[in-house]
A and B are shown apart, each in its own frame.
Chain A
């Protein structure tokens, strides 16, 4: 591209509007490998999101369907092909449908758990870091205690506890008790990460002159936190978010694999299917385990790629910015005369 280009008169240089540009900036700002990592991750994630959103139309059958509408039962453990593209499993379920519906469960759990940990962890970190004092100490102690537990163990305990607590709540009615309790138990183990990162960046940003300047113009604590600290401390949060999302898929599958997660009648869940398929492998039945497993691996990979790609764009020490060619505006004779 020529460094000095003239656009045709009358045509304005194309500039995306503010929001669009900011949303796309991670992609447009990066270069080289980071960009491809990010794009590949985003595309792969998009496939699963589409599957999740359009599951009722994409999946040939329902996730808990064992017989056709006319009452004819599905064959048990039939090989891929024919009416069942990826075969059926020992519970007469259609594997393809279970995989597609499983992506809906996965996306629901990930979105709910990450959103909840953001909504709780980030403000807690801000308040704790800015106000300090005894509140900061107590919160630090609680969060460090949560950190100290093995995350899977913690998730199991909370999944059990929340199951009883959540029954009958609005959230549980919409998403199902299994999905909600799994998501919120993941929330509990992820909050400390957001809290820690935001709190520590807030503590260092608190001493910045612009925060002092905000106080000098009469901003209240709330305004300082919202308008001055928040925009400057959240930059690393999206990276943790995406990496946590990948981790959430793994933990959710582990819960399901142990039989402690979502029950098969509530929603399709890859980890549970994997557990059921464990015995099939010795009998040479590969399709019941391969496809749910593949889905887990692909989605975890996709989210990790997004996280790593984002990290390289957001983290200034890793970032390599693209050189943008300078486009001078066309010479306007009228201005000069």
Chain B
């Protein structure tokens, strides 16, 4: 792979994002919609602050559902934020109307993940690449338009141009289509390009070529990139700075070298450990995060990563449903007889999902609070290293119920730790 050219220290701020929130209303049942009941929200982007400097490449890295694509789309005004500001050129683009936004689209452009879907199947390449110019009235006459389209296609390496001008997207290969998408994005001379996983749908053989093309374009045209990816390896090669996203928030952001040399956040460490290693003899201890990314409609309290975090402790925001997860995973590992016996002891657990602050365990028929407590103690003794127990402040018996009290939750905020900024309680002095 080609190496990333050293860029001069970027100075001028191009876009400033402040506390951006994009919440999507959940559809809910038709009855709930009919009566206008609140059906809950998915917090796709939940309070993100970010500065983009002129000429730099910022990577947004995260798993599916981390809100990276929504953030990228919101930067272009394709998504209506529910809160916060995006300042560009002295204006807050979240407050702009459709018409004002349209005129900004010449300066803010996007490259899409799937080149097969991003081109209009019913338009020739020449027409779609030139369409931004026609929409914004930037070409003087047909010849000028054609000349500019040819120039743009040549820039992205679709040469000889004559072979592509009158083709339809279905006649092109995936890599060629992505080049055409890039040609369409750069034809208006944009300043910011949001690239949403631009290489993930391409063949391995053309990935590095497309990335190299994007770097060349950046240097020649002075572009600024937001590079959205789940692939840390390409981010390492491509980005000046990397922001790691988890459930709609940035958990770590800093210069690429720093992040890769010394990842701070446990989630970043886990992501880096998940990068496949080509050496079969070197089996790395991969402590990959447990479980799946949680539901963004109802994110865990405190640090959203705590249920999956190997280093979580008291302040991370433990809550009753974590107890349910613990019991479930315990029962998955014991015999059926043990499960049935223990299951009867704790009785109804369905309340744990909704409970906040403290968990109330009512013993099942024929069991006492002491039995429940004994079960919890046995669990704790079996795996005292389990981070969950650090978050448990006390286990009390109160009027026949067992009350599990958790340490108060705190939202971690981004704070500077050596060269990067991390949102993790571990780094609070």
Where the two chains meet, the residues of A that have a C-beta atom closer than 8 Å to any C-beta of B are 208-210, 212-220, 223, 227-228, 231-232
Contacts and interface: CB of A to CB of B under 8 A. Distances in A.
Given A218-B102, A231-B122, 20 more contacts: A208-B117, A209-B112, A209-B113, A209-B114, A212-B78, A213-B112, A215-B78, A216-B78, A216-B110, A217-B105, A217-B132, A217-B188, A218-B103, A218-B136, A219-B131, A219-B135, A223-B135, A228-B120, A228-B122, A231-B120
A217 B135 contact: yes
A212 B117 CA distance: 10
A214 B110 CA distance: 10
A231 B132 CA distance: 18
Contacts of B117: 208-210
Contacts of A212: 78, 112
B76 interface: yes
Contact of B184 (A209, A217, A228, A232): A217
A5 to B, nearest CB: 22
A218 B121 CA distance: 19
B404 to A, nearest CB: 45
7 contacts: A210-B120, A217-B132, A217-B188, A218-B136, A219-B135, A228-B123, A231-B123
Contacts of B103: 218
B167 to A, nearest CB: 13
Interface string B147-181: 00000000000000000000000000000000001
Interface string B348-360: 0000000000000
B229 interface: no
A216 B105 contact: yes
Contacts of B119: 210, 213
Interface in B97-155: 102-103, 105-106, 109-110, 112-114, 117-123, 131-132, 135-136
Interface centre among A212, A215, A216, A219 (most CB of B within 10 A): A216
B123 A227 contact: yes
Given A209-B112, A209-B114, A212-B78, A218 B105 contact: yes
B309 to A, nearest CB: 35
B131 A216 contact: no
Nearest to A214: B120
Nearest to A218: B105
Contact of B109 (A209, A216, A219, A231): A216
Given A216-B76, A216-B105, A210 B184 contact: no
Query: 3 closest Cβ contacts across the A-B interface?
Result: A218-B105, A231-B122, A209-B117
Given A217-B184, A218-B132, A210 B76 contact: no
A25 B184 CA distance: 29
B191 to A, nearest CB: 14
Interface in B39-77: 76
Interface of B: 76, 78, 102-103, 105-106, 109-110, 112-114, 117-123, 131-132, 135-136, 181, 184-185, 188
B181 A213 contact: yes
A227 B188 CA distance: 19
A232 B131 contact: no
A4 B106 CA distance: 48
Contacts of B135: 217-220, 223
A217 B76 contact: no
Contacts of A231: 120, 122-123
A270 B112 CA distance: 58
Nearest to A233: B122
B132 A209 contact: no
B118 A213 contact: yes
B110 A213 contact: yes
A208 B112 CA distance: 12
A77 to B, nearest CB: 57
Contacts of A228: 120, 122-123
A231 B114 CA distance: 21
A165 to B, nearest CB: 38
Nearest to A234: B122
A203 B76 CA distance: 23
Contacts of B188: 217
**Interface core residue of A209, A212, A220 (most chain B CB under 10 Å):** A209
A228 B188 CA distance: 19
A178 B323 CA distance: 79
A7 to B, nearest CB: 21
A66 to B, nearest CB: 55
Contact of A220 (B102, B106, B131): B102
Contacts of B112: 209, 212-213
Contacts of B76: 216
A223 B123 CA distance: 13
A227 B76 CA distance: 22
Contacts of A227: 120, 123, 131
Contacts of A208: 117
Given A209-B114, A212-B78, A227-B131, A217 B109 contact: yes
A175 B429 CA distance: 89
A232 B123 CA distance: 10
A219 to B, nearest CB: 5
Contacts of A210: 117-121
Nearest to A223: B135
Nearest to B103: A218
A232 B117 CA distance: 13
A217 B127 CA distance: 13
A212 B111 CA distance: 11
A186 B146 CA distance: 46
A217 B112 CA distance: 12
Nearest to B136: A218
A209 B112 CA distance: 8
Contacts of B78: 212, 215-216
A192 B145 CA distance: 40
A232 B184 CA distance: 20
